[in-house]
Chains A and B, each alone.
Chain A
Amino acid sequence: MGDYYDASYETQCPQCRSTKYRNPQMKLMVNVCGHPMCDSCVRMYFIKESAPCPECEIILKRSKFRVQIYEDPLVEKELAIRRKVMKVYNMSEDDFPTLEEWNAYLEEIEEIVYNITNDINKPEMEKKIENYEKQNKNEIRKNFGKKSRADEEIERQLDSELMKGLERQRILREEQEQSMISRQRNKTSLIKDLMAASEGAASLVVQTHSERLKEEQKRENQKKKEQELALAAKASEFSSGVKIGFANLSSAPVKPVKEELYRYEPPVLSATLPAPSWDELEEGGYLHHVRRASPQAMAGGYSEHYACLRALQDFMSSHFLS
């Protein structure tokens, strides 16, 4: 762990220049303007409820500070703006007759968010939001609190998971109660039997009892296992909708994709004048007419054959004999 280096060590508060390395407890906070500041700076600057941002001098409220989650403060700023814009632009897909209109609507939102984030035509954009808010007052109020379909879906899944958890707890509790009752019953029956039995038969009675107990425990264990299996079968999905385990994979066999394999076809070249082969270079004396390879070049795997043969081939191969 000694030489482990965390990239987040470099995070630095632009105000006090303190880094995460020096102060591991440091948290960067951002406000609506997107300029980060560490938590101790926030405490210092914002003794009163509101104060100007030391960088852009917009008046900020202390309560609006949030822990910076993303590395880029601009993203944080965008999120804050988006949250604000989405409060007004809160229609859902069902409110639009066609997909195009819905897309245009989304596009408009993105444009506004982008422009405000990057300070392009900011007053104009704010006016646009205001106008929209005025025009669509009723719809906004109606849609306020209404959840989008995606949200509903997630909620439904969370609910069902919660229900499953409760069910499991209930079963567990019942089991415990049952085993307690049966243990009690066994105890009392043993005592009764022992009281009724004669002196010599006591050990025999204890033996039969213990055997019966064992058998009961076995049966119980089996029951437990069955229940567990049943539960596992029920939970075949993660909350994200992804199937659990491999059982479902094997049920839908992957179709083998039949594809033609690449087959190399050597290019068909017309016949050319014959160039000497590698071995003939030496024997034919061609190598006497090229520069010898230096020892350094030879070490790298080069030999004068290459240059010589290439030049010869270049000449010979561009005479086509057809």
Chain B
Amino acid sequence: MYGSSTQFRSWTFKDEHELKRLRVQANADFIDKFGADMTAEQRMQHFLTAEEEHLMVRSYEHSLRDFCKKFRDPRDGRIRMLPSATTTAQHYFKRFYIYNSVMDYHPKEILVTCVYLACKIEEFYVTINDFVHNVRGDKKKAIEIILNNELQLTQELQFNLIIHQPFRPVEGLLIDIKTRFPQLHDPERLRPYIEDFLERVNLTDAILLYSPGQIALAAVTTAVSRLGENLDHYVTDILFPEEQKHHLSVLIEAVRKIKKMVKNTEPPLSDSVKKEIEAKLERCRNQQNNPNSSQYRANYSEWDDEDLPIASSPFSGDVSMGVERIRSPSAY
């Protein structure tokens, strides 16, 4: 039940300002920690701003969606990633970067870790070896990165792993519409629009601010209006019992906000801007969490488990990352 869930208690935020405040805080914390001996000006130049970080996260949310869309099980090419796994991964990814800085953990590493964890939680069975087939670059290293980050990720999520998704509420809403509002002809027509909406809502902050039921209602009403019809009569007169009418405005406001957010989904960053930010990030990121840095190697070789293959020396000029780049749709 959503009302008693950790999602409602810890991961549904009041409004966008609160989200922004937390993100700025994460950014400032990182800068304070690593830029202690720098002047304000140097800091500005060296570190990413909260704004830039947010852009990065946004653009990687698009990458996450594309990664999941293109995901194939190497044993059976017909198997696609479940939409629920994708949604869960998006939730994890967003949650992680509310309290963490991009400079601390590189999004391309957290991205795959989120998807891998989401596959487990949503019971979409895939082994780590099959999983990294979908990742570019050194597979062994990708495995190492994912498995190393996995526990860190769950911890940052405060081990709150159950995600309440809008899919079942949508089904409930459709059942209710079919039963109590037969005026709407063949609600099954709405499906493609609803799916599209639910995919796009994952790229917004709406899923951190509103309940799955509200998102479901927004999805269905959007789909209905795309067909040139409307559900107003159903929502105001049938859904809400007479004595609860005064709460209607809250719901309508929420639905309106969600719709607006989805409508204003930012397009992915242009490649040049993204490259620029990434180059800056490469300079200022926390080297302890960079699998290519000598510091990272030094840390891990101390308690080397034999199963952390340290293939080449950090100075061999081989800079291929485990997770080089998330395969873009055009790669196929």
Contacts and interface: CB of A to CB of B under 8 A. Distances in A.
Interface of A: 267, 269-274, 284-286, 288-290, 308, 310-322
Contacts of A286: 175-176, 179
9 contacts: A270-B3, A273-B244, A311-B172, A313-B172, A314-B169, A315-B172, A318-B3, A319-B213, A321-B247
A310 B168 contact: yes
B70 interface: no
A273 B248 CA distance: 11
Contacts of A272: 3
A314 B213 contact: yes
A290 B247 CA distance: 30
B3 A312 contact: no
Nearest to A310: B168
Contacts of A311: 168-169, 171-172, 175
B251 to A, nearest CB: 6
Contacts of B168: 310-311, 314-315
Which of A274, A314, A317 has the most chain B CB atoms closer than 10 A to its own CB? A314
A286 B178 CA distance: 8
B179 A267 contact: no
Interface in B186-242: 211-214, 216-217, 239-241
B178 A314 contact: no
Nearest to A313: B172
A124 B160 CA distance: 51
A320 B240 contact: no
B324 to A, nearest CB: 40
Interface string B1-36: 111100000000000000000000000000000000
A208 to B, nearest CB: 95
Nearest to B4: A267
B173 interface: yes
Contacts of A274: 241
A41 B247 CA distance: 90
A272 B212 CA distance: 13
Nearest to A322: B247
Contact of B213 (A267, A271, A315): A315
A317 B176 contact: no
A311 B1 CA distance: 11
Contacts of B141: none
B164 A318 contact: yes
A307 to B, nearest CB: 9
B212 A318 contact: yes
The 5 closest A-B pairs by CB, nearest first: A318-B213, A315-B172, A311-B172, A318-B211, A315-B169
Contacts of B217: 315, 319
Nearest to B171: A311
A292 B33 CA distance: 60
Contacts of B174: 289
A315 B3 CA distance: 11
Interface string B150-177: 0000000000000010001111111110
A312 B180 CA distance: 12
B175 A317 contact: no
Contacts of A269: 1, 3-4
A28 to B, nearest CB: 34
Given A314-B169, A317-B3, 16 more contacts: A286-B176, A286-B179, A288-B179, A289-B178, A310-B172, A312-B176, A313-B172, A314-B2, A314-B212, A317-B213, A318-B212, A318-B213, A319-B213, A320-B3, A320-B211, A321-B247
A273 B3 contact: no
A316 B169 CA distance: 8
Contacts of A273: 239-241, 244
Contacts of A319: 211, 213-214, 217, 251
B179 A285 contact: yes
Contacts of A289: 174-175, 178-179
Contacts of B2: 314, 317-318
A63 B179 CA distance: 91
A266 to B, nearest CB: 10
Which of A267, A272, A285, A318 has the most chain B CB atoms closer than 10 A to its own CB? A318
A320 B248 CA distance: 11
B231 to A, nearest CB: 14
Contacts of B173: 315
A289 B239 CA distance: 17
A316 B179 contact: no
Nearest to B247: A321
B94 to A, nearest CB: 18
Contacts of B251: 319
Contacts of B1: 269, 313, 317
Nearest to B175: A289
A288 B174 CA distance: 12
